[in-house]
C-alpha cells in the first residue's frame, strides 16, 4: 500500500552533512533535495563526489551526522553487478525480495517465477549466479527488487559493468518498468548519456554538494542521436569537473 | 527476449578434482590418484621411516593383537579433538564476526587476538592443568589446550572472510529489511563458509599436534606419572617413544596417518568442493 500522494515528496534530504570518519572532510555538505512521486532522478558526478553515499543514507546503511533524511517509501535497490548470493539459485535470489512478507512458499515461488518471466529469464530459475552473464545477473537483481512492489527504486551504477548492447537493453527495461509500474527511481551513474536518456531530472554532484540541477523534459523513449539529447549531454558534461 | 542457458553443461565435475584448501584450487585427478597420494604414500613414508629407525621391515604380529587398543585410543583422541573443535568453531566464528562488527571493535579486538594467538600454548599448559586439576577435570585441561591452539585459525579466517565479502552483498540484507538473525544465517555465515572451512582444516591440523602432548599429562602435571596420562593415540605415541617400543610407535604412527588421510578424503575434500558454490567472483 502506498504511503504517499502526488503532492508529497517520496524522499527528502534536508541540509544533510555526512562524513565516513571523524576528522576527515565531509563526503556530503548541506545537501538538500526532494524526490517527487513517479519521478526519475539521476545523480551524476566524478568519483568521490558523494553520489553513492546518497544511496547509503536512503537505505539506512549510514546515518547523517547533520540534517535529516525522510523516506516514507518502501525502498529497494539494484546494485552494481547484481550483488546476488552465489550459494542460492536464481529463483531463491529473487525470493530474497520477499523478506518480511507473510506469504506461502508456493506463492513466493509463483511470484518470483512471474518476475523472472517478465524479464525473460524464466529458464534460469535453477541456475546459480556463477553461470550467468553480467546482463542476466543484473536482470535477476532487478527481479529481486521488483517482486516486493517497491515505491522507490534505487539504482547504483546498474549498467556500468555491462557491454554497450546489454546496457542499452537493460536501460530500456528499466524505462519500461518506470512507465508501467510508476515506481519512483533514483539512479547513480557515471554515464551522462544514460542519465540524459532516462532521467526527468539530473543532479550534478561536485565535492559533496549539488552543483547543478538540470530538468530533462524531452519525451521518452529518447534517441541518443537526437540533437536535443546531444545538446543536454553536452551541457551536463560541461558542468562535471574532470575526475582525473 | 528469452535468454537460454547452456553453461551448466560445461560445469566441471567436482568428483574429478582434488581440492587444496591453500587457495582452494582444483587439480584434475581421479580416485586412484587421490587414494595413492592421500593414503598409500603417507603409509609408505611411515613404513620407510620406521624401518630406517628400527629395522622393523613389516608390521609385526604383536600389533594385530594391539590393534583394538590402538583403534580405541584413536577414537578417544578423535573425540577429544572433536569436542575442542566444536568449541573452537562456535567461539572462533563468534570472535571473528565480532571483530568485524565495526572499526572500533576491530581495532580493540584484533591486537588482543594477535597476542593470544602468538602465545606458546604449551608454556601455559602446566598452569592450565593445575587449574583443571583443582576441579578434578583432567580431560578438560586437554580439551582446553587443544581448543586454544585451534580457535585462532578459525577466528582469523572468519575475519578475512568477512572482509572479502563484497559490501553490496552485505548491504542486501539491510536494504531488503532482513532482521540481524536473517542477515547472520542467510548472508554472513554462508559468505564466510569457505573461510570457516579453511580455518577448520588448519585448526584441526594444529589440534593434532597438540593432542600428542596434551594427552601425556605426566610431563606437565606436578608429582604425576604415567597413570595421569589420558588414554589416546598421543599418549601411546609418547609412551612408546620414551620406552623405546618402536613397534607400537610405528603402529600408532601408521594408524594416525591413515586416520588423518581418511578425514581428508572423506570429509575435507567433499566440503572443499561444496564450498566452491559460496565463492564470490
The predicted-structure confidence for B141-184, as pLDDT tens digits, reads as follows 889 999 999 999 999 999 999 999 999 999 999 999 999 999 99
Searching chain B, which residue's CA lies closest to the CA of residue A96?
B176
Establish, for the pair of chains A and B, how many residue pairs have beta carbons separated by less than 8 Å: 79
Helices B193-214 and B233-243: crossing angle, nearest 10°? Answer: 40
Whether the predicted pLDDT of B60 surpasses 60:
no
Cα distance between residue A180 and residue A149, in whole Å: 12
Whether B174 sits inside 8 A of A124 (CB atoms) is no
Name the minimum distance, in Å, from the CA of A65 to any CA of chain B.
Answer: 17
Q: Looking at the complex, does the CB of residue B4 fall below 8 Å from at least one CB of chain A? A: yes
Q: Looking at the complex, does the CB of residue B185 fall below 8 Å from at least one CB of chain A? A: no
Whether the predicted pLDDT of A6 surpasses 60:
no
Searching chain A, which residue's CA lies closest to the CA of residue B193?
A87
Nearest to B168 among A80, A130, A132 (CB): A80
Whether the predicted pLDDT of B28 surpasses 70:
no
Whether the predicted pLDDT of A35 surpasses 50:
yes
Residue B7 has a pLDDT of: 38
Mean pLDDT (chain B, rounded):
82
Q: Is B43 exposed, middle or buried (0-12, 13-18, 19+ CB in 10 A)?
A: middle
| Least confident span in A5-14, A40-49, A138-147, B69-78 | A5-14
Cα B243 to chain centroid distance, Å, stands at 29
Cα distance between residue A210 and residue A217, in whole Å: 20
B215 closest CA partner among B244, B188, B238, B248: B238
Name the minimum distance, in Å, from the CA of B22 to any CA of chain A.
Answer: 21
pLDDT in tens, B94-147: 999 998 887 788 888 888 888 888 888 888 888 888 888 788 888 888 899 999
Q: Are A47 and A189 in contact (CB under 8 A)?
A: no
DSSP string, B54-121: H---S--HHHHHHHHHHHHHHHHHHHHHHHHHHHHHHHHHHHHHHHTS-HHHHHHHHHHHHHHHHS-G
Name the minimum distance, in Å, from the CA of A93 to any CA of chain B.
Answer: 11
Cα distance between residue A192 and residue A234, in whole Å: 9
CATH architecture of A1-74+152-225: 3-Layer(aba) Sandwich (3.40)
In B, which residues are within 8 Å of A71 by CB distance? none
Residue B18: band (very low, low, confident or very high) from pLDDT cuts 50, 70, 90: low
Cα distance between residue B200 and residue B180, in whole Å: 25
Residue A243: band (very low, low, confident or very high) from pLDDT cuts 50, 70, 90: very low
Q: Are A46 and A72 in contact (CB under 8 A)?
A: no
Cα distance between residue A167 and residue A170, in whole Å: 5
Name the minimum distance, in Å, from the CA of A52 to any CA of chain B.
Answer: 12
Residue B5: band (very low, low, confident or very high) from pLDDT cuts 50, 70, 90: very low
DSSP string, B198-229: HHHHHHHHHHHHHHHHHT-GGGTSTT--GGGS
**What is the four-CA torsion angle of B110, B113, B117, B121, rounded to 10 degrees?**
160
Mean pLDDT (chain A, rounded):
91
What cell numbers appear for B53 in the block?
629407525
Nearest to A123 among B2, B166, B176 (CB): B2
Q: Are B211 and B146 in contact (CB under 8 A)?
A: yes
State mean pLDDT over A178-186: 93
In B, which residues are within 8 Å of A130 by CB distance? 277, 279, 281
Whether B169 sits inside 8 A of A85 (CB atoms) is yes
Whether A79 sits inside 8 A of B171 (CB atoms) is yes
Residue B3: band (very low, low, confident or very high) from pLDDT cuts 50, 70, 90: very low
Start-to-end CA distance of chain A, whole Å, equals 45
Residue with cell 539494484: A78
Whether A169 sits inside 8 A of B171 (CB atoms) is no
- How many of the other CB atoms lie within 10 Å of CB of B87? 17
**Which residue would you say has higher pLDDT here, B90 or B53?**
B90
Whether the predicted pLDDT of A216 surpasses 70:
yes
Q: So where are chain A's domains?
A: 1-74+152-225, 84-149
SS3 A194: helix
**What is the four-CA torsion angle of B186, B192, B193, B199, rounded to 10 degrees?**
-150
Q: Looking at the complex, does the CB of residue A61 fall below 8 Å from at least one CB of chain B? A: yes
CA distances from B258 to A74, A130, B134, B266 (A): 58, 36, 37, 12
Q: Are B7 and B211 in contact (CB under 8 A)?
A: no
Q: Looking at the complex, does the CB of residue B87 fall below 8 Å from at least one CB of chain A? A: no
Residue B121 has a pLDDT of: 80
What cell numbers appear for A126 in the block?
535453477
**Which residue would you say has higher pLDDT here, A74 or B227?**
A74
Write phi, then psi, for A17 (nearest 5 degrees).
-120, 135
* ipTM for the predicted complex: 0.86
SS3 A208: coil
Name the minimum distance, in Å, from the CA of A235 to any CA of chain B.
Answer: 32
Searching chain B, which residue's CA lies closest to the CA of residue A89?
B277
Cα distance between residue B35 and residue B109, in whole Å: 42
CATH numbers and ranges of domains, chain B: 75-278 (1.10.3720.10)
A120 closest CA partner among A108, A133, A107, A130: A133
Residue B119 has a pLDDT of: 82
Disruptive mutation site among A87, A98, A125, A176 for chain B (greatest number of B CBs within 10 Å): A87
Name the minimum distance, in Å, from the CA of A3 to any CA of chain B.
Answer: 17
Disruptive mutation site among B1, B2, B3 for chain A (greatest number of A CBs within 10 Å): B3
Whether B169 sits inside 8 A of A83 (CB atoms) is yes
State mean pLDDT over B233-261: 87
Q: Looking at the complex, does the CB of residue B163 fall below 8 Å from at least one CB of chain A? A: no
Q: Looking at the complex, does the CB of residue A80 fall below 8 Å from at least one CB of chain B? A: yes
Cα distance between residue B268 and residue B71, in whole Å: 21
Whether the predicted pLDDT of B188 surpasses 60:
yes
Whole-angstrom Cα Rg for chain B: 22
Write phi, then psi, for A220 (nearest 5 degrees).
-110, 150
Write phi, then psi, for B172 (nearest 5 degrees).
-55, -45
The sheet with strand A28-36 has its strands ordered as A28-36, A9-18, A66-71
Q: Looking at the complex, does the CB of residue B280 fall below 8 Å from at least one CB of chain A? A: yes
A11 closest CA partner among A60, A46, A50: A60
Q: Looking at the complex, does the CB of residue A123 fall below 8 Å from at least one CB of chain B? A: yes
Whether the predicted pLDDT of B261 surpasses 70:
yes
Name the minimum distance, in Å, from the CA of B9 to any CA of chain A.
Answer: 10
Residue B203 has a pLDDT of: 96
- How many of the other CB atoms lie within 10 Å of CB of B180? 10
Whether A87 sits inside 8 A of B278 (CB atoms) is yes
- How many of the other CB atoms lie within 10 Å of CB of A25? 10
Amino acid at each position: 500500500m502506498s504511503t504517499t500522494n502526488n503532492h508529497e515528496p517520496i524522499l527528502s534530504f534536508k541540509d544533510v552533512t555526512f562524513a565516513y570518519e571523524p576528522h576527515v572532510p565531509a563526503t556530503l555538505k548541506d545537501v538538500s533535495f526532494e524526490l517527487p512521486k513517479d519521478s526519475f532522478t539521476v545523480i551524476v558526478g566524478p568519483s568521490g563526489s558523494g553520489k553513492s553515499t546518497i544511496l547509503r543514507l536512503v537505505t539506512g546503511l549510514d546515518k547523517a551526522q547533520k540534517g535529516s533524511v525522510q523516506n516514507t517509501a518502501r525502498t529497494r535497490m539494484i546494485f552494481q553487478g547484481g550483488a546476488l548470493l552465489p550459494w542460492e539459485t536464481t529463483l531463491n535470489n529473487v525470493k530474497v525480495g520477499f523478506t518480511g512478507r507473510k506469504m506461502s512458499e508456493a506463492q513466493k515461488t509463483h511470484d518470483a517465477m512471474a518476475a523472472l518471466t517478465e524479464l525473460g529469464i524464466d529458464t534460469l530459475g535453477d541456475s546459480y549466479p556463477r553461470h550467468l552473464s553480467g546482463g542476466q545477473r543484473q536482470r535477476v537483481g532487478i527481479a529481486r527488487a521488483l517482486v516486493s512492489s517497491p515505491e522507490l527504486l534505487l539504482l547504483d551504477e546498474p549498467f556500468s559493468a555491462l557491454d554497450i548492447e546489454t546496457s542499452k537493453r537493460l536501460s530500456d527495461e528499466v524505462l519500461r518498468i518506470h512507465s508501467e509500474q510508476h515506481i519512483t527511481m533514483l539512479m547513480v551513474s557515471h554515464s551522462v548519456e544514460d542519465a540524459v536518456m532516462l532521467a526527468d531530472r539530473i543532479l550534478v554532484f561536485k565535492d559533496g554538494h549539488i552543483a547543478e540541477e538540470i530538468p530533462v523534459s524531452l519525451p521518452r523513449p529518447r534517441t541518443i542521436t537526437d540533437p536535443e539529447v546531444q545538446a543536454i549531454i553536452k551541457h551536463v558534461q560541461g558542468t562535471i569537473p574532470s575526475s582525473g | 527476449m528469452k535468454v537460454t542457458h547452456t553453461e551448466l553443461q560445461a560445469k566441471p565435475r567436482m568428483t574429478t578434482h582434488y581440492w587444496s584448501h591453500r587457495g582452494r584450487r582444483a587439480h584434475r585427478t581421479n580416485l586412484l590418484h587421490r587414494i595413492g597420494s592421500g593414503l598409500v604414500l603417507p603409509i609408505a613414508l611411515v613404513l620407510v621411516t620406521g624401518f630406517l629407525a628400527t629395522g622393523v621391515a613389516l608390521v609385526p604380529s604383536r600389533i594385530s593383537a594391539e590393534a583394538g587398543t590402538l583403534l580405541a585410543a584413536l577414537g578417544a583422541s578423535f573425540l577429544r579433538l572433536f569436542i575442542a573443535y566444536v568449541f573452537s568453531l562456535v567461539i572462533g566464528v563468534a570472535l571473528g564476526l565480532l571483530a568485524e562488527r565495526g572499526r572500533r571493535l576491530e581495532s580493540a579486538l584484533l591486537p588482543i587476538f594477535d597476542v593470544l594467538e602468538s602465545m606458546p600454548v604449551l608454556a601455559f599448559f602446566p598452569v592450565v592443568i593445575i587449574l583443571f586439576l583443582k576441579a578434578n577435570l583432567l580431560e578438560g585441561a586437554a580439551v582446553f589446550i587443544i581448543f586454544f591452539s585451534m580457535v585462532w585459525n578459525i577466528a582469523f579466517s572468519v575475519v578475512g572472510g568477512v572482509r572479502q565479502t563484497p559490501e553490496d552483498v552485505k548491504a542486501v540484507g539491510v536494504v531488503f529489511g532482513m532482521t540481524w538473525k536473517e542477515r547472520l544465517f542467510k548472508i554472513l555465515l554462508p559468505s564466510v563458509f569457505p573461510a570457516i572451512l579453511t580455518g577448520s582444516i588448519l585448526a584441526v591440523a594444529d589440534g593434532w599436534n597438540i593432542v600428542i602432548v596434551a594427552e601425556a599429562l605426566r610431563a606437565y602435571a606436578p608429582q604425576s606419572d604415567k597413570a595421569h596420562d589420558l588414554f589416546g593415540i598421543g599418549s601411546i605415541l609418547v609412551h612408546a617413544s620414551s620406552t623405546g617400543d618402536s613397534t607400537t610407535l610405528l603402529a600408532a604412527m601408521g594408524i594416525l596417518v591413515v586416520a588423518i588421510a581418511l578425514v581428508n578424503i572423506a570429509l575435507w575434500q567433499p566440503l572443499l568442493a561444496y564450498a566452491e558454490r559460496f565463492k564470490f567472483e
